[in-house]
Chains A and B, each alone.
Chain A
């Protein structure tokens, strides 16, 4: 059974950093692209970043370029999102997803609140 479990969310002040993790199991992690998708409270879904199966290429939405870094450790079957210079508009639930031309599996999400 495919499982994705995010961790690392919490309350952080504007301008500070936070690192999210996503532990994957039930599939060969190194065979799949992975992505982060976020959802602000009571809002819709927004793709944040993607990474190829090897980790050799990464892609970001414009609003997080230069501030967020997606990475992975295939030996640990874990996906990461390093978030720096956080802003109030980054407040959201962050979902880890498996990417296979579509997002076929999602974790339960981890909440990030950026507030002073």
Chain B
């Protein structure tokens, strides 16, 4: 099975911060990584697909990059409504990272 190691587990951030989190695949997954946002009590929401493509309606402060085994997700200008847990997922065989929880400092 392909393991997705996501880091950090949590981050304390302030509104306006630039936030970066990472995901490392245990084997080459090409560009087949998606990023999801899950707010408390809600179902997940797709933000980025195929490593770097922003899904319809997703604000441009959310970006993704990477290929092969190393992937990065960035929020360029953190907003209060972005507080959530973010998950990476490799879509070759559908395994998720453990998530990165964003909390207010």
Contacts and interface: CB of A to CB of B under 8 A. Distances in A.
Contact of B94 (A44, A47, A104, A107): A47
B49 A102 contact: yes
Interface residues of B, number: 19
Main secondary structure of the interface of A (DSSP, over half): strand
Contacts of B98: 44
Contacts of B62: none
Task: Name the interface size band of chain A.
Answer: 10 to 19
B43 A109 contact: yes
Contacts of B96: 44-47
B21 interface: no
Nearest to B94: A47
Interface string B40-62: 00011110011000010000000
Interface of A: 35, 37, 44-47, 50, 95, 101-104, 106-109
Interface of B: 34, 36, 38, 43-46, 49-50, 55, 87, 89, 91, 94-99
